[in-house]
Amino acid sequence: MEHKTGFSKLIFQENYKEKIADLKKIKPTIISNPIQEDPNYSLLDYTIGYKLEAIENIASHRLNAKDGLEEARKVIILGYDESKIKFLALEGTAFFTTHTLVIVGNDDYLPITLFTINFYTKSKKLVEKSSFIRYSENPSIDSELDYIAERNEFLSFWGEKNSIMFIDGPFIGGNITSYNLNLIDNLLQKNIIPIFFVKNSTSNLVVNNIPELKGNFNSDLHWLHHFLESGTRSNIFKYTDEHNSANSKIFFYIKTLRNISPQRVEMHPKVFSLIEDHFPEMINLIYYLLLVHGERSNLQIRPIAIAEMFSRESMRLTNFTKMFNSMQFIPTMNQIRFGGK
């Protein structure tokens, strides 16, 4: 399998050094220890009007891991995940993110990781001091949108042609939807098939719209945990935004092991149309990659899990403590009381 020579490297955001230099000038006063964060899509606005339809009869379908292994030997596989750390300061909020894309090689996983830093403040006076410090009334939302924009540029540039890309996170999600639609268009131009994965979802989209299920279950996962056996998938559903039909998705759930919550798999309808003739092979590939990861406590598709590991290790190797000490950050009383130095 051929792969880009640019893989297996850590790269830094453009103007990264200038951002660090500007942060040193303002000497932010940290008011909490670093906080590990996952993207919080619940902070974004979600569509109210929609249509849901089952495009297969409601039933479970048996999967075949052996066939998935055979498919894995035929295709180029990519996985994406990120790691994010938040620092709260009196002057604003800093977010450090590592974006990692891995390609599954013949004998190893080859990563490329992008490191980014963003600082948000409500102080217009601080914003005037630097073109890299951003004014924000809501850093939580703005940081999520900036993260998505960074992710899209990164994946569009580094994605390997003629591959399948597995991406951690939902495809449909209010303000992120337009970003994901642009990403899909960019990836399809390179003949990359993007497929999105959602763990631990609280969605009740299906159970609220299927008459025989409504009122009987707390969430879709509650229903599917009882409905699906190990090694099966649900039927396929289609979601359509009534205000904008472009905001549509095909999705289904996979349950790998007993007493392990199912996962949702999502893709755009035009992606589904490209793989529809090979849909059984694709689903068996996903099932195989879920099983081969082997961690019951963190059961996810292996290329994404490996990308997550590289992201977290890259975050550790950047040595934030040393970096922040060099900025002469001043800890507050609470930080000292609870273990800060």
In which band, very low, low, confident or very high, does the pLDDT at 64 lie, cut at 50, 70 and 90? very high
What's the mean per-residue pLDDT of the chain? 85
- pTM across the whole model: 0.87
Give the span between the Cα atoms of 117 and 115, in whole angstroms. Answer: 7
* Residue 86 DSSP SS3: strand
In which band, very low, low, confident or very high, does the pLDDT at 43 lie, cut at 50, 70 and 90? very low
Give the span between the Cα atoms of 136 and 142, in whole angstroms. Answer: 7
Strand partners, 95: 86, 118
What would the pLDDT profile of 77-110 be if each residue is shown by its tens digit? Answer: 999 999 998 888 888 998 989 999 999 987 789 9
Do residues 167 and 265 lie in contact, with contact meaning Cβ atoms separated by under 8 Å?
Answer: no
- The token pair at 57 is 């009869």
- The token pair at 299 is 């059961």
In which band, very low, low, confident or very high, does the pLDDT at 153 lie, cut at 50, 70 and 90? very high
Q: What is the amino acid identity at position 220?
A: D
Tell me what the mean pLDDT of segment 302-313 comes to: 93
In which band, very low, low, confident or very high, does the pLDDT at 70 lie, cut at 50, 70 and 90? very high
* pLDDT for position 296: 66
Is pLDDT of 328 > 80? no
Identify which of 137, 221, 166, 170 has the alpha carbon closest to the alpha carbon of residue 39: 170
CB neighbour burial string for 181-201, b if at least 16 within 10 angstroms, e if fewer: bebbebbeeeebbbbbbbbeb
If one compares 341 and 187, the residue with the highest pLDDT of the two is 187
* Residue 290 DSSP SS3: helix
Give the span between the Cα atoms of 34 and 148, in whole angstroms. Answer: 21
What would the pLDDT profile of 227-259 be if each residue is shown by its tens digit? Answer: 999 999 999 999 998 888 888 999 999 999 887
What would the pLDDT profile of 188-234 be if each residue is shown by its tens digit? Answer: 999 999 999 998 788 889 999 998 899 899 999 999 989 999 999 99
Tell me what the mean pLDDT of segment 33-54 comes to: 68
In which band, very low, low, confident or very high, does the pLDDT at 324 lie, cut at 50, 70 and 90? low
Give the span between the Cα atoms of 171 and 195, in whole angstroms. Answer: 8
Q: What is the amino acid identity at position 296?
A: R
If one compares 327 and 295, the residue with the highest pLDDT of the two is 295
* pLDDT for position 116: 92
Give the span between the Cα atoms of 25 and 15, in whole angstroms. Answer: 16
In which band, very low, low, confident or very high, does the pLDDT at 183 lie, cut at 50, 70 and 90? very high
* pLDDT for position 241: 84
In which band, very low, low, confident or very high, does the pLDDT at 169 lie, cut at 50, 70 and 90? confident
Q: What are phi and psi of 87, to 5 degrees?
A: -120, 125
Q: How far is CA 166 from CA 77, 290, 303, in A?
A: 8, 12, 7
Tell me what the mean pLDDT of segment 278-296 comes to: 89
DSSP string, 177-225: HHHHHHHHHHHHHTT-EEEEEE-S----TTTTTSTTTTTT-SSHHHHHH
CB neighbour burial string for 283-305, b if at least 16 within 10 angstroms, e if fewer: bbbbbbbbbebeeeeebbbbbbb
Is pLDDT of 326 > 70? no
* Domain-wise residue ranges, the chain: 9-335
In which band, very low, low, confident or very high, does the pLDDT at 132 lie, cut at 50, 70 and 90? confident
Give the span between the Cα atoms of 270 and 276, in whole angstroms. Answer: 10
**Greatest distance between any 2 Cα atoms in the chain:** 62
Q: What is the CA radius of gyration of the chain?
A: 21
Tell me what the mean pLDDT of segment 32-51 comes to: 64
In which band, very low, low, confident or very high, does the pLDDT at 334 lie, cut at 50, 70 and 90? very low
